[in-house]
Amino acid sequence: MSQSVTEPSGVSYNPKNGRGGARSFTLAGSFGCNKGATVESRSANRVEESGEKGHEGVWVFIERDGGGIAGVSKELLGAGRKLACDLGVPLGALVLGDDIDALEKEAIVLGADRVYSSRHDSLRHYRTDPYAFFASALIKKYRPEIVLIGATTTGRDLAGALAVELRTGLCADCTALSIDTRRRLLVVEKPAFGGNILASIVCPKRRPQMATVRPRVMEPATPDPSRRGEIIRENLHYEENPVALSILGFTKEKDVSADLASADVIVAGGRGLKSAENFKLVEDLAQALGAAVGATRAAVDAGWVSYAHQIGQTGITVKPKVYIAVGISGAIQHLAGVQTSETIIAINKDPEAPIMKAATLAVVGDLFKIVPALTREIKRLKGEHMRR
Ligand SMILES: Cc1cc2nc3c(=O)[nH]c(=O)nc-3n(C[C@H](O)[C@H](O)[C@H](O)COP(=O)(O)OP(=O)(O)OC[C@H]3O[C@@H](n4cnc5c(N)ncnc54)[C@H](O)[C@@H]3O)c2cc1C
């Protein structure tokens, strides 16, 4: 992979050739679109249908996870690539931080044609004020028509602040994105009215069109180390003084059973367990399987387990290989968070419960008999395996 870097002075810099060398790559009309899917590059000054003028490009805000790009941002680079190809515009990545060289390169490998970045000590950890300041400054200068942000704790916070600063609309917590090519509008889908309808929402009058997208509802971009792109770095002056919040340190969540995002196997419990004491049946089964523990809102509201375990529309969206639902009815708001699971196993005494229709394997029976027996059998099999 190679990339050209444009410093704020406007001088082009190619890491291979040195400062002022020829730019390593020229954006072709087809940008990073698939072979054969040639699209025309359009003028940045066209007039949107009743929208604001002079906005072009799809941007993805790059969130960090440890030293690399967070999963949700990889998913958005994948989705953003398709939107950019449909519009015939470049895909941009917005990268902020104090030490971001590796992130800039990774964003290009994952499909960005251009990386817009800013470095500053204040951007070391996420805080609303500095991130909103730098992000809005870059967006105002380079005027993308679409900005996508992960619907994570960080992304939800930043997107709200940015929408206010940029005086534009924000569609939060979306589950699908597409382009209305005739009107050149972003169409976002999200469950609304308690998940009873799927709303398609557009923002025809303001730019950029902004959306936060739930993690794990889209496929991540496929890395291509041979991709080339352009890095545009902006040095901005920022005073630390006005920052109302400073970070003193981080404490890792002790309850690892709530690490639902990366779990391959999840055992989740619902109101069918009837009490906090009984919820232990779910925890025991999860422990025997080496699985994470999930819960419905009913179980969380009853105080049997903390909110970190809640799965669904107002909880986390999960994508495990195996999802075991114990005493869960499968309300639409719960299913919204589990439907991308590879295999769903439901244990419920009611064969008509909605979860049974969504399940790959529906086990009809009393959880108080089935779950302890299952846990015992798994422990026995594991013991046998260890002895071999
Ligand atoms: C705006 C909004 C957002 C929401 N967000 C979420 C969300 O993010 N996540 C979420 O989960 N919910 C959410 N809800 C709540 C949701 O509508 C349901 O109320 C909730 O999911 C029901 O939880 P449950 O399946 O545990 O309980 P119930 O619906 O009461 O189901 C209990 C199930 O246990 C079974 N059962 C009982 N006893 C046994 C037994 N002995 N053996 C086997 N099975 C048994 C029953 O047959 C039943 O199917 C939301 C609601 C609204 C309005």
Residue ending a domain, choose from 198, 233, 268? 233
**Mean pLDDT taken over the chain:** 85
Burial class (CB in 10 A: 0-12, 13-18, 19+), 271: middle
Q: What is the pLDDT of residues 291-303, one digit of tens each?
A: 999 999 999 999 9
Atom 31 (ligand 1) nearest CA: 329
Span from the CA of 188 to the centroid of ligand 1 (angstroms)? 28
What is the C-alpha to C-alpha distance for residues 45 and 161, in angstroms, rounded to an integer?
A: 27
Span from the CA of 285 to the centroid of ligand 1 (angstroms)? 20
The pLDDT of 228-257, averaged and rounded, is 81
Instruction: Assess whether 173 and 70 both reside in one domain.
Output: yes
Q: Quick one: pLDDT at residue 387?
A: 74
Q: Quick one: pLDDT at residue 51?
A: 54
Q: Quick one: pLDDT at residue 20?
A: 28
Instruction: Give the pLDDT band (50/70/90) at residue 190.
Output: confident
Which domain CATH number covers 100?
A: 3.40.50.620
Instruction: Assess whether 96 and 140 both reside in one domain.
Output: yes
**132, part of any domain:** yes
Buried residues in 114-150 as b, exposed as e (16+ CB within 10 A): bbbbbbbebbeebbbebbbbbbbebbeebbbbbbbbb
Q: Is the CB of 317 under 6 A from ligand 1?
A: no
Instruction: Assess whether 18 and 159 both reside in one domain.
Output: yes
Instruction: Assess whether 191 and 283 both reside in one domain.
Output: no
Q: What is the pLDDT of residues 113-138, one digit of tens each?
A: 999 999 999 999 999 999 999 999 99
Q: Is the CB of 88 under 6 A from ligand 1?
A: no
Pocket test for ligand 1, best of 173, 274, 285, 313 (most atoms within 8 A of CB): 313
Q: What is the CA radius of gyration of the chain?
A: 24
Q: Is the CB of 117 under 6 A from ligand 1?
A: no
Instruction: Assess whether 299 and 202 both reside in one domain.
Output: no
H-helix segments, the chain:
71-87, 101-109, 128-142, 153-166, 276-289, 297-301, 332-335, 354-358, 367-387
**33, part of any domain:** yes
Q: What is the pLDDT of residues 49-85, one digit of tens each?
A: 445 668 999 999 999 988 899 999 999 999 999 999 9
Instruction: Assess whether 115 and 211 both reside in one domain.
Output: yes
**242, part of any domain:** no
- pLDDT-above-70 percentage for the chain: 83
Instruction: Assess whether 164 and 278 both reside in one domain.
Output: no
**218, part of any domain:** yes
Residue ending a domain, choose from 233, 265, 294? 233
Based on the structure, what is the number of domains in the chain?
A: 2
Q: Is the CB of 55 under 6 A from ligand 1?
A: no
Q: Is the dihedral of CA 148, 56, 96, 158 positive or negative?
A: negative
Span from the CA of 372 to the centroid of ligand 1 (angstroms)? 21
Instruction: Assess whether 17 and 131 both reside in one domain.
Output: yes
Q: What is the pLDDT of residues 21-33, one digit of tens each?
A: 222 333 334 566 7
Which domain CATH number covers 303?
A: 3.40.50.1220
**246, part of any domain:** no
* Domain carrying residue 356: 256-387
What is the C-alpha to C-alpha distance for residues 324 and 346, in angstroms, rounded to an integer?
A: 6
Q: How many residues does the chain have?
A: 388
Span from the CA of 255 to the centroid of ligand 1 (angstroms)? 23
Instruction: Assess whether 44 and 188 both reside in one domain.
Output: yes
**344, part of any domain:** yes
Atom 48 (ligand 1) nearest CA: 329
Q: Is the CB of 370 under 6 A from ligand 1?
A: no
